Chains A and B, each alone.
Chain A
Amino acid sequence: MNGWLTAIALSGYAAAGVALLTRRLPGVRRDLWWALLALVAVSAAFELATLLEKTGITGALDPLEDLLRVVQPATWGALLYIWQQVAAARERDRRESLLDAALEGGRLGVWEWDIATGHVRWHGLTEQIFDMASGAFDNTVEAVRERVHPDDREAMWADVQRALEQGTPYLSRYRLRLPGGEVRWIEATGTVHRDGQDQPRRMVGTVRDISGARQAELELRHSEERYRDFTAIAADWVWEMGPDLRMRAISERIEELTGIAPAVLVGRTRAEIGDFSQDPAALERHLAVLEARREFRDFRYRARLADGSIRWFETSGRPLFGEDGTFQGYRGTAREITAEVETLEALRESEERFRNLIEGSIQGIYVHRDFKPLFVNRAFAQMLGYASPEAMLALPSIESWIAPEDLARMRRYSEARHAGAPDVPAMYEYHAVRRDGSRIVLQNFVRTVSWQGRAAVQCAVVDVTERTAVEERLRGEKRFTDRVIDSLPGVFYLFDAKSRFLRWNRNLETVTGYSSQEIAAISYIDFFEGDERSYIAGQIAKVFEEGSATAEANLVFKDRTQRPYFLTGHRVETDAGACLVGMGIDIGERKAAEAALRASEARYRALYDDNPSTYVTLDEQGTIRSINRHGAGQLGYDAAALQGTDARTLYTDPAQASFERFLAECLAQPGVLQRWELPKRCADGTVLWVRETARAVHDADGQVLVLVVSEDVSEARDLSERLAYEATHDGLTDLINRREFENRLERVLETARASDSEHALCYLDLDQFKIVNDTCGHMAGDQLLRQLGNVLKGSVRHRDTLARLGGDEFALLIEHCPMSKAVRIANTLREAVESHRFQWDDYSFKVGASIGVVPIDAASPGAAHLLGMADHACYAAKEQGRNRVHVYREDDAEIARRSGEMQWVARLDAALEAGRFTLVRQRIAPVDGAFEGDHYELLLRMMEEDGTLISPGAFLPAAERYNVAVRVDRWVLDAALDWLEGEPGELDGLHLCAINLSGHSLTDEAFLDHAVGRIRASRVPPEKLCFEITETAAIVNFAGAHAFITALRELGCRFALDDFGSGLSSFGYLKTLPVDYLKIDGTFVKDIVDDPIDRAMVEAINRIGQVIGKKTVAEFVESEAILARLREIGVDYAQGYHVGHPEPLVSAARGVALARQAG
């Protein structure tokens, strides 16, 4: 039996082992599976051992059996332990599932906060509630606090701290602000867990989203508040009636509304509360309703209060029934309607009065429905000529009195009113036909009223026939006014005090480009911009204050362009109050004209002020009325400062009398040009020479004014003075030169002749001077002459005239001096020269002086002769052994005859006799390159017997001194004319042929006659002949030269002033010397490129020539540079080697040089 049982056990374990090993157990923990397998194996082994023991194999398995007997419980213990663990794990899982379900069901989250580390753990919906997936969120309590709404953060944390400190459960409601911006209400609970030292270790709790509950709570609270507000402001109070139909409760509101205490009414029936004495039936009906337990509404009754006042109430109620259907009473609301009842009563009375009023009104009133008259008052019946309202009511339709032309319009209004159209006019006019057929105009005020419970149209009518006629007349006048305004040339406007346009003309729209709607929407100020806005606003204010104003401003148009306008404004009173009416005129063209005028004035002013000339306007007293800026500035004054001052004060003291005289002449001869040249005094004291031209004129007022134009001639005057000085003085010694000496000699001669006085003339010639020149050069000679000049100057009286005549020749004019004294003075001079030692380099010279003395008295010949006599005496002194004084004797001339100059005379005579003169020509060309024809100067050459050509510089001085020059000139004139006549080709191409004349010829009347006759007889046109005379010759013999020139100019000949600048005395002569050309001396021209002084001289001469209307010719033009410089200066002609060398006159016919036999 036991063996079978063991076998069963073994079989069981075997089956279990098979089950464990063959059936896969994926849901079984591995440790449990191993424990089971061990148990099964051990148990099977034990049972097998037991079975084997029973089968007879004993002893050998006992130790195994004993071991297995011990091991088997151990395996069971292990199995059960593991099983317990598995069960515990399953139980934990189950509990967690339950917890999760509970949390899910309760919408709860669980959290745990480790206070020491600050870490937070959570479970359930905590993550969802805090939206931890969004934004940065770590498991710290700080992260949790960050999610709390800032407004609730402190309160939440205070709750936490209170729980930690007091040990109380934590409960807090606060808001979260989630990363997405959502705000969520939550409720958090928790408990604090403490350690052994009663220190808080952690806090565990739940969190729940109560946003919905919170919202519901808020809505409930709002609902309660609304209810309270409603009941607080409602006009009703609540009452409750018991089943005995007595008031059981009444809300306090009744006292607030009516002043009746609820306690007064509680316990009373409706009949006791109300006063139904006037309408007992109403009480009966109400009680019947109550008895029937029916609901009632708006039951009205009145009550007499304790103070005797009557009050009206309206109440509604519904019955109350218990759950078992038993009647519990009534509950309802009531309100006081005393005011309504009284209002209705008043309304009824008012309606009564209104009806009476309508009946008695003088305004016509009628009511119709669908044009069927319902009511007509008496006034309207009379208005249309009917006997009574009833007569009109008998009419089938109001169309009976509506004029046909207005009928369609009124029907349209009626239909629109029926359709509820909003824009149907409530007032309009129409024509009505009176009963007698006449027509009137009615103004109809229409409104829809209720008439006998249905809608009808009530019309209040006024007869406006007369007013319409007046309005039509006014409209006609307005149309006329509008046309007048629109026809105004400018813009018209009328606007109120706020600058809003009330009226304007069409021009304003046309000009500005704004439509009428746009103008109506903007203000007058909007037409202006910038500073002009405030300016215009100020002018508008001025109009409203003072009545009128004008302005000039730019009107800004719609396209933002601008035009200047002259604007007027006048204040007018209109229905709209004070307004401004005015016009604007376009002044664009006027402005442009003004601007042009201003520009013109500015130009004139600039021309006037900055003109290099001075313009002065004087009145008759010589007071300055105006002066240009340049003129005032030239004198060092301000133009404004000079206005009103006396013009005399501007002149130097000596010149003021002259100015006074000139001014008087001007005023005495209005319109006649006056000229003068006077010095003016500048502000700084310097003197300014001006040449002034003046003329007296009458201004627009008839006042006499003197117009003065001044030109600064200081520079020209200085130059003239300097030239004059140089013309009278020797440049080397600064002594008087020959010409001046001759002038003074002439004057002394005149004095001697006039006063029979006695004077003396000394002629001094240095001895051995040529040695100095030859030995040490001309510079040494010049230096010696300068020194001797000073020596001689120191040896003569101040009143005596010492001159250097040329070379080493000096002359002394001793006035009012007897001969004996003159000889002593001459000896003094000789000794002074003799005692002077001249040192030059290593040389020392001592020179002597031979002096010829000639007495001057009334019987003395002319100056030239006197000089010749003195020269002869000097020559005699030399002949006598030099360095001595010789008084002139008659035989001295004979001695001089042997001199070279005298020999020239003989040679000249011989040459004239033998015809050994010839002419060459040198070209004169315009500087600007223009071609005018042949223009040249004929030059004279003398041929020696051996054929050598001699320049005129060698023989002309002698020719002039010994009166041979006139003969020479005659030969030249005849030769020139003959040649020109013989060369028709030359004559045709000739522009001008210049012929030189000596000074002697100018005063030789015979020569003049010869010249006039010869020219007249010639075929040569006189205007092609130009006679050149030296400046000196012309001035020395001014009167004769003037007559000579005048005579030949009358023929047509022209004249040139030769060598101009080399020795002339005054520019003043030029103004009266009728020459055509000025030939600038070549000594100035040849160095013009390098010498600024020479250039200035040439410029000055050229300028003077141009001023006085003379053409200028520059000599000695030897290079292109000179020519270019002359071109810059503006000289008209050039002559010199660069232009052309002198060339012989060639006869076209003979091809040989011309040599004419003197005739």
Chain B
Amino acid sequence: MIEFQDIVPLVAGMAVLALGAASQLRPGRNRTSVLFGLAFLVLLAGWTASVAENLVAGEFLDWVEHASRALAGLLVAAGCWCLGRRSRKEGR
């Protein structure tokens, strides 16, 4: 049973995923952007999996969801770390 709170991130996630994918494909992106973009895409994938687990392959998709969320968390951490490095360079 898909609930309302699942629909919102699913739709939003799909839309942002599409935009984000297009955005991530543009040349000249820096590393921080890539990390955050990937984190978002991974998270979107997790959300999608969490919505979809109610429909099919629930256990696997649940694992995918958690794995995605874990990866997203790591990517965000990496992104923040890179952002901090670049910020210090530019700030100087």
Chain A residues closer than 8 Å to B9, beta-carbon distance: 69-70, 72-73
Q: Does A56 count as interface, using CB distance less than 8 angstroms?
A: no
**Are A5 and B87 in contact (CB-based, < 8 A)?**
no
**Are A27 and B90 in contact (CB-based, < 8 A)?**
yes
**Interface contacts beyond A24-B88, A26-B91, A73-B16: sample of 4 additional A-B pairs, CB < 8 Å, sorted by A:** A8-B74, A25-B83, A26-B88, A80-B40
Chain B residues closer than 8 Å to A5, beta-carbon distance: 63, 66-67, 69-70
**Are B87 and A27 in contact (CB-based, < 8 A)?**
yes
Q: Does A36 count as interface, using CB distance less than 8 angstroms?
A: yes
In the complex, chain B residues 10-64 whose Cβ is within 8 Å of any chain A Cβ: 12-13, 16, 20, 23, 33, 36, 40, 43, 47, 62-63
Chain A residues closer than 8 Å to B77, beta-carbon distance: 11-16, 19
**Are B40 and A47 in contact (CB-based, < 8 A)?**
no
In the complex, chain A residues 36-89 whose Cβ is within 8 Å of any chain B Cβ: 36, 39-40, 43, 47, 50, 66, 69-70, 72-73, 76-77, 79-80, 83-84, 87
Q: Does A315 count as interface, using CB distance less than 8 angstroms?
A: no
Residue of B nearest to A32 (CB): B83
State how many angstroms separate the Cβ of B23 from the closest Cβ of chain A.
7
**For the complex, what is the distance from the CA of A15 to the CA of B77, rounded to whole Å?**
6
Q: Does A6 count as interface, using CB distance less than 8 angstroms?
A: yes
25 A-B contacts, Cβ less than 8 Å apart?
A1-B63, A9-B70, A9-B71, A9-B73, A10-B73, A11-B77, A12-B74, A13-B77, A14-B77, A16-B77, A16-B81, A25-B91, A26-B91, A27-B86, A36-B83, A40-B76, A40-B80, A47-B69, A70-B8, A73-B12, A73-B47, A76-B16, A79-B36, A80-B40, A84-B23
| A69 touches which of B5, B20, B63, B91 (Cβ 8 Å) | B5
**Are A77 and B75 in contact (CB-based, < 8 A)?**
no
State how many angstroms separate the Cβ of A454 from the closest Cβ of chain B.
86
**Are A27 and B89 in contact (CB-based, < 8 A)?**
yes
A2-B63, A77-B12 known; A12-B73 Cβ under 8 A: yes
| A2 touches which of B36, B62, B89 (Cβ 8 Å) | B62
State how many angstroms separate the Cβ of A65 from the closest Cβ of chain B.
9
Chain B residues closer than 8 Å to A27, beta-carbon distance: 86-91
State how many angstroms separate the Cβ of B51 from the closest Cβ of chain A.
10
Q: Does A1107 count as interface, using CB distance less than 8 angstroms?
A: no
Task: Count CB-based A-B contacts (< 8 Å).
Answer: 115
In the complex, chain A residues 988-1025 whose Cβ is within 8 Å of any chain B Cβ: none
**For the complex, what is the distance from the CA of A84 to the CA of B36, rounded to whole Å?**
12
Q: Does A911 count as interface, using CB distance less than 8 angstroms?
A: no
Interface centre among A8, A12, A24, A66 (most CB of B within 10 A): A12
Chain A residues closer than 8 Å to B12, beta-carbon distance: 73, 77
Chain A residues closer than 8 Å to B36, beta-carbon distance: 79-80, 83
Chain A residues closer than 8 Å to B63, beta-carbon distance: 1-2, 5
**For the complex, what is the distance from the CA of A13 to the CA of B81, rounded to whole Å?**
11
Chain A residues closer than 8 Å to B81, beta-carbon distance: 15-16, 19
State how many angstroms separate the Cβ of A16 from the closest Cβ of chain B.
4
> Could you tell me the dominant secondary structure of chain A's interface residues?
helix
Chain B residues closer than 8 Å to A83, beta-carbon distance: 33, 36
Chain B residues closer than 8 Å to A66, beta-carbon distance: 5
Chain B residues closer than 8 Å to A47, beta-carbon distance: 69, 73
Residues of A within 8 A of B (CB): 1-2, 5-6, 8-16, 19-20, 23-28, 36, 39-40, 43, 47, 50, 66, 69-70, 72-73, 76-77, 79-80, 83-84, 87
**Are B74 and A28 in contact (CB-based, < 8 A)?**
no
**Are B40 and A76 in contact (CB-based, < 8 A)?**
yes
**For the complex, what is the distance from the CA of A15 to the CA of B83, rounded to whole Å?**
13
**Are A80 and B62 in contact (CB-based, < 8 A)?**
no
Chain B residues closer than 8 Å to A8, beta-carbon distance: 70, 73-74
Chain B residues closer than 8 Å to A80, beta-carbon distance: 16, 20, 36, 40
Chain A residues closer than 8 Å to B5, beta-carbon distance: 66, 69-70
State how many angstroms separate the Cβ of B56 from the closest Cβ of chain A.
18
Chain B residues closer than 8 Å to A13, beta-carbon distance: 73, 76-77
**For the complex, what is the distance from the CA of A8 to the CA of B68, rounded to whole Å?**
11
**Are B80 and A19 in contact (CB-based, < 8 A)?**
yes
Residue of A nearest to B74 (CB): A12
Residue of B nearest to A36 (CB): B80
Chain A residues closer than 8 Å to B76, beta-carbon distance: 12-13, 16, 39-40, 43
Residue of A nearest to B81 (CB): A19
**Are B16 and A77 in contact (CB-based, < 8 A)?**
yes
State how many angstroms separate the Cβ of A657 from the closest Cβ of chain B.
151
State how many angstroms separate the Cβ of A978 from the closest Cβ of chain B.
162
Chain B residues closer than 8 Å to A26, beta-carbon distance: 87-88, 90-92
State how many angstroms separate the Cβ of A986 from the closest Cβ of chain B.
151
Chain B residues closer than 8 Å to A16, beta-carbon distance: 73, 76-77, 79-81
**For the complex, what is the distance from the CA of A19 to the CA of B74, rounded to whole Å?**
12
State how many angstroms separate the Cβ of B16 from the closest Cβ of chain A.
6
**For the complex, what is the distance from the CA of A79 to the CA of B16, rounded to whole Å?**
12
**For the complex, what is the distance from the CA of A326 to the CA of B25, rounded to whole Å?**
59
**For the complex, what is the distance from the CA of A14 to the CA of B90, rounded to whole Å?**
25
**Are A28 and B87 in contact (CB-based, < 8 A)?**
yes
Chain A residues closer than 8 Å to B13, beta-carbon distance: 73
Residue of B nearest to A26 (CB): B91
**For the complex, what is the distance from the CA of A73 to the CA of B48, rounded to whole Å?**
12
Chain A residues closer than 8 Å to B73, beta-carbon distance: 8-13, 16, 43, 47
**Are A25 and B84 in contact (CB-based, < 8 A)?**
yes
**For the complex, what is the distance from the CA of A1 to the CA of B73, rounded to whole Å?**
16
State how many angstroms separate the Cβ of B39 from the closest Cβ of chain A.
9
| B84 touches which of A11, A19, A70, A79 (Cβ 8 Å) | A19
Residue of B nearest to A69 (CB): B5
State how many angstroms separate the Cβ of B62 from the closest Cβ of chain A.
7
Chain B residues closer than 8 Å to A19, beta-carbon distance: 77, 80-81, 83-84
Interface centre among B5, B8, B40, B77 (most CB of A within 10 A): B77
**For the complex, what is the distance from the CA of A1112 to the CA of B73, rounded to whole Å?**
165
Residue of A nearest to B90 (CB): A27
Residue of B nearest to A2 (CB): B66
Residue of B nearest to A28 (CB): B87
**For the complex, what is the distance from the CA of A1061 to the CA of B66, rounded to whole Å?**
179
Chain A residues closer than 8 Å to B67, beta-carbon distance: 5
**For the complex, what is the distance from the CA of A83 to the CA of B71, rounded to whole Å?**
20
State how many angstroms separate the Cβ of A329 from the closest Cβ of chain B.
58
**For the complex, what is the distance from the CA of A479 to the CA of B47, rounded to whole Å?**
139
Chain B residues closer than 8 Å to A23, beta-carbon distance: 84, 88
**For the complex, what is the distance from the CA of A77 to the CA of B14, rounded to whole Å?**
12
| A12 touches which of B8, B62, B70, B87 (Cβ 8 Å) | B70
State how many angstroms separate the Cβ of B71 from the closest Cβ of chain A.
8
**Are A87 and B33 in contact (CB-based, < 8 A)?**
yes
State how many angstroms separate the Cβ of B27 from the closest Cβ of chain A.
12
Chain B residues closer than 8 Å to A1, beta-carbon distance: 63, 66
State how many angstroms separate the Cβ of A405 from the closest Cβ of chain B.
102
State how many angstroms separate the Cβ of B36 from the closest Cβ of chain A.
7
Chain A residues closer than 8 Å to B86, beta-carbon distance: 27
**For the complex, what is the distance from the CA of A50 to the CA of B70, rounded to whole Å?**
12
**For the complex, what is the distance from the CA of A755 to the CA of B69, rounded to whole Å?**
204
State how many angstroms separate the Cβ of B47 from the closest Cβ of chain A.
7
Q: Which 8 A-B pairs have the closest CB atoms?
A: A12-B73, A26-B91, A27-B90, A9-B73, A5-B66, A27-B87, A8-B70, A15-B77
Interface centre among B33, B66, B73, B88 (most CB of A within 10 A): B73
**For the complex, what is the distance from the CA of A39 to the CA of B8, rounded to whole Å?**
17
Interface centre among B67, B83, B88 (most CB of A within 10 A): B83
Chain A residues closer than 8 Å to B83, beta-carbon distance: 19, 25, 28, 36
**For the complex, what is the distance from the CA of A16 to the CA of B80, rounded to whole Å?**
6
**Are B69 and A9 in contact (CB-based, < 8 A)?**
yes
**For the complex, what is the distance from the CA of A39 to the CA of B86, rounded to whole Å?**
20
Chain A residues closer than 8 Å to B75, beta-carbon distance: 12
Chain B residues closer than 8 Å to A11, beta-carbon distance: 73, 77
Chain A residues closer than 8 Å to B20, beta-carbon distance: 80
Chain B residues closer than 8 Å to A12, beta-carbon distance: 70, 72-77
**For the complex, what is the distance from the CA of A73 to the CA of B73, rounded to whole Å?**
14
State how many angstroms separate the Cβ of A31 from the closest Cβ of chain B.
14
State how many angstroms separate the Cβ of B21 from the closest Cβ of chain A.
12
**For the complex, what is the distance from the CA of A43 to the CA of B77, rounded to whole Å?**
11
